[in-house]
A = this chain, B = another copy of it.
């Protein structure tokens, strides 16, 4: 089963690798049009999924993620159009030089081949992931949630119809019908066929992939992000950075979960910022020193320091010096985004050197770790691993590089 899908994807990927940037742009625009044209059949498939999910008693939150409507269909189409407009990552020469014997060497960006995506209830991921994979010249194996299978299949059929109409291999996009646990595991272990697996889901999915996957993958992991307010911080900047990092969108991975304050400024800073956070509805959980300054702060447990709340909750730690702040961040951080607020160049230098994270901010909100903010256009995720790609993943993260060497009969002596 997975071998059949994989073989078809591999063959389709070879055709996609040859497409010009123009052809890929036109393909994605046509797909956007087709998704909108088929809105009513996609919505009716989605209504079926919704009904079945409701009858199985799934949560309202999951139902909301599963739901499609006219607006969300338009969002999918707009997403395809915006990926269509991005520069083609394939064929870019990323380096080149001559060897001593005159061979001209070029390092050229190429598609990976076959990209698999395992995702949860949101059916729009089907179109998003297909667009990113095609734009980067890869065939896509899309394995969504069983709840969304009807919707995903309808969206996949729209995309496939465009492939066929343009004379392109229909298996460039395959929505996997087998949504069983075993099917997912087979996909995670199809080393012969899958060049990259991208999980789009929660901690359970990530843990399963870390434990079971044998194909290469990139993890979009947890973000237990800290804002450290240094002794030399501008406290006005600090307050707005802390509040923005926590409150602007608390459910995402680049939101701050923990505030670390130098004791030299804590008396002045903490009561003021705590007031702002409490007024914004944030629950604070702090150490004894923090609680002695602000009575509304609840006691923090050891577990709090390591928790990514994804919610309007923030832990508060008071530290005696920069070293203790760095130690705290290194102990509890997840390598996503860490920020320091300081006017002291030496403190900023120490923090940026010692903190091992995908992004380290000096005097800026943690919320800037984001593909769109970085200027990458579309974002596939934010990698918290160190190999292949770290931080926001643009289209380039779906490519590899190949060396081309042009000689005139050179041999090694």
Which residues of A are interface residues toward B (Cβ below 8 A)? 14, 17-18, 97, 99-100, 103, 105, 110, 112-113, 191, 195-196, 210-211, 214, 216, 218, 234, 236-237, 240-241, 243-245, 248, 330, 348, 352-354, 356-365, 367-369, 373-375, 385-388, 390-391, 400-412
Contact = CB atoms under 8 A, between A and B. Distances in A.
Contacts of A17: 353-354, 356
Nearest to A356: B113
Contacts of A243: 411
A386 B112 contact: yes
A47 B358 CA distance: 47
B361 A405 contact: yes
A369 B99 CA distance: 11
The 9 closest A-B pairs by CB, nearest first: A364-B407, A244-B411, A237-B409, A386-B400, A367-B412, A387-B388, A388-B388, A359-B403, A365-B411
Contacts of A385: 216
Contacts of A400: 386-387, 390
A359 B412 contact: no
> How many copies of this chain does one complex carry?
2
Nearest to A97: B375
Contacts of A357: 402
A45 to B, nearest CB: 35
B402 A390 contact: yes
A407 B373 contact: no
Contacts of A216: 385-387
A364 B405 contact: yes
A354 B240 contact: no
Contacts of A210: 191, 214
B363 A407 contact: yes
Nearest to A219: B216
A99 B410 CA distance: 46
Q: Which of A100, A243, A401, A402 has the most CB of B within 10 A?
A: A402
A403 B112 contact: no
A107 B191 CA distance: 31
B99 A368 contact: yes
Nearest to A191: B210
Given A386-B400, A412-B248, A374 B237 contact: no
A403 B371 CA distance: 12
Nearest to A341: B409
Contacts of A195: 386-387
Given A210-B214, A364-B103, A403-B360, A240 B353 contact: no
Q: Which of A373, A374, A386 has the most CB of B within 10 A?
A: A386
B97 A368 contact: no
Given A191-B210, A216-B386, A365 B412 contact: yes
B358 A403 contact: yes
Contacts of A18: 353-354
Contacts of A112: 386-387
Contacts of A99: 368, 373-375
A113 to B, nearest CB: 7
B386 A113 contact: yes
A402 B335 CA distance: 10
B14 A354 contact: yes
Contacts of A361: 405, 407
A396 to B, nearest CB: 11
Contacts of A241: 409, 411
A348 B369 CA distance: 42
Nearest to A98: B375
Given A368-B103, A410-B364, A402 B356 contact: yes
A375 B400 CA distance: 20
Contacts of A113: 356, 386
